[in-house]
Amino acid sequence: MENTRKPIDYLWIVLKGMAMGAADVVPGVSGGTIAFISGIYQELVETIARLRPSLLLVLKNEGIKAFWKASNASFLLALLSGIALSIAS
């Protein structure tokens, strides 16, 4: 999942998020379909599956850095930023 990504990798994730956001606005097209086509569907599903209450224990016991990594928050932040940018524009 969150291997050593470069800033350009996150830019691509933002762009894929923008495509997902654009697809969500169009009737009959799913953002999930765009995620699948663009190759991020598996990581998205696995990241969402990680979001459990037990992550709060990671935050409490190990701090924000461990929580950020355990939740794959960099990926989610980039993706959700792209989706929000697309829907807002």
Q: Report the pLDDT value the prediction gives residue 13, as an integer from 0 to 100.
A: 97
Is there a domain that residue 2 lies in?
Answer: no
Is residue 2's pLDDT more than 80? no
Cβ(13)–Cβ(79) below 8 Å? yes
Q: Give the Cα separation of 89 and 18 in Å (integer).
A: 10
Beta strands in the chain (DSSP E): none
The alpha carbon of residue 68 and the mean position of all alpha carbons in its chain are separated, in whole angstroms, by 12
Is there a domain that residue 75 lies in?
Answer: yes
pLDDT digits (tens, 9 = 90+) for 26-51: 898 899 999 999 999 999 999 999 99
How sure is the predictor about 4, in pLDDT bands with cuts at 50, 70 and 90?
confident
Cβ(83)–Cβ(20) below 8 Å? yes
Containing structural domain, residue 41: 7-88
Q: Give the Cα separation of 55 and 70 in Å (integer).
A: 8
Is there a domain that residue 77 lies in?
Answer: yes
- pTM of the full predicted structure? 0.87
How many distinct structural domains can be found in the chain?
1
Give percent of the chain with pLDDT exceeding 70.
97
